[in-house]
Amino acid sequence: MNRGLTDYWRAFRSFSSGARLYLWHTMLGSVAWSMVTLLLNLYLYSLGYRQDFMGLVNALPAAVTMALGLPVGGLADRYGYRAFLLAGSTLTAVSGIGVALAAAPGAILAWAALSGMGGTLTWVIGTPYLASQSDEANRMELLSVNFALMTAAGFAGSLLAGQIPQRVAAVLATDPMATGPLRAGMLAAGLLSTLAVVPLLRLPPEPWGAKGRARALSSLAGAGWLPDRQEAGLFARILVPAALIGFGAGVMVTFFQIFFRLRFGLEPGQIGVIFAFTSVFNAVASLVTPLLARRMGKVRTVVATQLASIPFLLLLTFSYDLRWATVAYYARSALMNMGGPVSMAFALELVAPHRRATLSSLEAMLGSLGRGGLGPLVSGLLQVRGGFEPAFTLTTLCYVAATALYWWFFKDAERPQGLTTAMASTSKAAPRGKAATSTVERAGAGSEKNSA
């Protein structure tokens, strides 16, 4: 443990100024995002909308990501990340305030689409930016700290999201589940999203310049926008398990606040406390994961933690006792997400550096299609017709299949012969002397948006 803390301290001291500013953005933005995660469906429910409309609202940003994700990744690989991050964060803040003020279905959907534009820019670019600000010696620690900040900031966000409606309701002498108190919480989240833009304004200029940009464009001229056949095989092995996890998460994770409200009758403040402590457990788990990965290997760490979450997922699905459901919720969330930074680092090291944003964009597109698109739509329909059990059971099947495929694809990737194969598959994409090395969340792009 002492060695692990020493490694973290040494890595933290080596983080660049750009990485540290991005971590501030992560912390502020994650507080806001956690508030929206808890309040959005409750807010829509207070306006009289059912789960099927909630699924549509959660699905629309995914459609935008599907349309824009690949072009954004390709442009960012060529022209740098800073401007894309700044534009995406600004759009996210504006759309958050817009949703909070909207009530008509058309207006809500329009703001949700704008949110998808902002999310596409930040989700796709965030992870490649951190990769560009790190090296193999400190990349896993940087990604783990970033993920831990996301989840730890969720503690504050969940508490705020639960307490603001309670306090506003007390002042207005109304129900905390009424539209007014919930709207106040959504507006507070929008203001915090605005603050999250400030650190990005101070990001140092990227080392492009006229000569640097010319060299980059020259080196990419023969690579094309899309991966070649050999790269495509590697991309498929990375993306298929991630897509299954994203779909399974969309079926279940998007509806947790409604689950606790309808099954156990909890108020926003009580749901906020549950969500807050989940963030603490997730943060601690994500910091422990690199220590496990150095002992067990990255692939085995991801597979073991995801499989260990399945019994708790089933307990959560079929339990009608709040105590057991809460314990299962904590354990499932921590175990399922703790391998995220490890698998993210693994994927980024397998692909050539000039393909990182492309991979991130493809993963964001597939993750958004599942987590924010098809998953919520399918789940909403299943819940309206059969309750939570069939929906959450579908999630279990997706997670088991994804974990089995991940093991099948990468079980030998950290052995010498597996490493040789992985490097050979990327040798054409990487410049001479810079082939990716295999040293291993899911959900590459913006893991806070793609947590399982």
Lowest mean pLDDT among 13-22, 86-95, 175-184, 368-377: 368-377
Instruction: Please report the pLDDT score of residue 264 as a whole number.
Output: 92
| pLDDT tens-digit series, residues 281-292 | 887 887 788 778
Instruction: Please report the pLDDT score of residue 138 as a whole number.
Output: 72
Q: Which one has a higher pLDDT value, 152 or 94?
A: 94
Instruction: Please report the pLDDT score of residue 193 as a whole number.
Output: 93
Lowest mean pLDDT among 82-86, 163-167, 323-327, 362-366: 362-366
From residue 313, how far is each of 306, 383, 394, 442 by CA, in Å? 11, 17, 11, 18
Instruction: Flag whether pLDDT at 231 surpasses 90.
Output: no
Instruction: Please report the pLDDT score of residue 48 as a whole number.
Output: 87
Say what percent of the chain tops pLDDT 90: 27
Instruction: Please report the pLDDT score of residue 2 as a whole number.
Output: 53
Instruction: Flag whether pLDDT at 307 surpasses 70.
Output: yes
Instruction: Please report the pLDDT score of residue 432 as a whole number.
Output: 30
Q: Which one has a higher pLDDT value, 70 or 21?
A: 21
Instruction: Please report the pLDDT score of residue 11 as a whole number.
Output: 62
Lowest mean pLDDT among 6-10, 320-324, 422-426: 422-426
Instruction: Flag whether pLDDT at 158 surpasses 70.
Output: yes
Q: What does the mean pLDDT of the chain come to?
A: 79
Confidence of residue 143 (pLDDT cuts 50, 70, 90): confident
Instruction: Flag whether pLDDT at 135 surpasses 60.
Output: yes
Lowest mean pLDDT among 28-32, 137-141, 394-398: 137-141
Instruction: Please report the pLDDT score of residue 441 as a whole number.
Output: 31
Instruction: Please report the pLDDT score of residue 415 as a whole number.
Output: 54
Q: Which one has a higher pLDDT value, 441 or 234?
A: 234
Query: Which CATH superfamily includes the segment(s) 19-197+224-426?
Result: MFS general substrate transporter like domains (1.20.1250.20)
Instruction: Flag whether pLDDT at 296 surpasses 80.
Output: yes
How many angstroms separate the first and last alpha carbons of the chain?
27
Instruction: Flag whether pLDDT at 206 surpasses 70.
Output: no
Instruction: Please report the pLDDT score of residue 368 as a whole number.
Output: 67
Confidence of residue 5 (pLDDT cuts 50, 70, 90): low
Instruction: Please report the pLDDT score of residue 241 as a whole number.
Output: 92
Lowest mean pLDDT among 88-102, 152-166, 237-251: 152-166
Q: What is the mean pLDDT of residues 153-171?
A: 86
Lowest mean pLDDT among 57-61, 207-211, 248-252: 207-211
Instruction: Flag whether pLDDT at 218 surpasses 60.
Output: no
In terms of average pLDDT, the best of 58-62, 283-287, 309-313, 341-345 is 309-313
Q: What is the mean pLDDT of residues 375-387?
A: 85
Lowest mean pLDDT among 52-66, 259-273, 304-318, 418-432: 418-432
| pLDDT tens-digit series, residues 401-446 | 999 999 999 988 775 434 434 434 443 333 333 333 232 333 333 3
